């Protein structure tokens, strides 16, 4: 188990487009394990490879449902539907949160660690998370989609995307 350093806003790597994974070798397997460890350590519900400085199209997600955690390699969003507007945060933007509108349903195609293609469908928090993490792979941060001002999050142990009360 290894915790990797999470890159934060202002780091150029977060603005770059990530490359597709062609084969899942031992390095990629270790990267995925480390991404999961790093996400859990930081109390996040999702993490994308560029957030630990690796420009590859890999995301990990765990929203606490019975089917997670999800590892998505080369994810492609096939369909979206509806919309949800709510508070969102990002481990790369510590201490901040903002209101973002996302699809309420997302259908994504991705590859697992054996490079088998699969389909994942999510609603509500999972849909928000898939959308947010896939944005990272194209160098996009939620702060560019925030409606209104970014808010300071005053408690230090908040979870990614968790709803919290306004002060």
Which chain residues interact with Ni ion by CB under 5 A?
Answer: 90
Backbone angles phi, psi at 72, to 5 degrees: -115, 115
Backbone angles phi, psi at 87, to 5 degrees: -80, 140
Distances (CA, A) of 40 to 2, 45, 54, 61, 147: 11, 8, 18, 10, 28
d(Cα 48, Cα 91) in Å, to the nearest integer?
A: 10
Residue placing its CB nearer to Ni ion in the complex, 3 or 115: 3
Residue placing its CB nearer to Ni ion in the complex, 24 or 90: 90
The minimum distance between CB 161 and Ni ion, in angstroms, equals: 9
The minimum distance between CB 26 and Ni ion, in angstroms, equals: 26
The minimum distance between CB 142 and Ni ion, in angstroms, equals: 6
133 given a catalytic annotation: yes
Residue placing its CB nearer to Ni ion in the complex, 21 or 141: 141
């Amino acid at each position: 188990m290894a915790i990797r350093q999470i890159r934060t806003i202002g780091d150029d790597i977060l603005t770059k487009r990530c490359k597709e994974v062609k084969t899942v070798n031992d390095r990629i397997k270790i990267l995925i394990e480390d991404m999961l460890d790093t996400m859990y350590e930081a109390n996040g519900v999702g993490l994308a490879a560029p957030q630990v400085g690796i420009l590859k199209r890999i995301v990990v997600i765990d929203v606490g449902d019975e089917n997670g955690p999800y590892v998505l390699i080369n994810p492609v969003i096939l369909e979206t539907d509806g919309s949800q507007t709510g508070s969102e945060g990002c481990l790369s933007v510590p201490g901040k949160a903002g209101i973002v509108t996302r699809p309420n349903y997302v259908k994504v195609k991705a590859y697992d660690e054996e490079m088998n293609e699969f389909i994942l469908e999510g609603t509500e928090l999972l849909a928000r998370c898939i959308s947010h993490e896939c944005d990272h792979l194209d160098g996009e941060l939620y702060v560019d989609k925030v409606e209104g001002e970014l808010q300071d999050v005053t408690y230090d142990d908040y979870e990614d995307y968790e709803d919290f009360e306004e002060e």
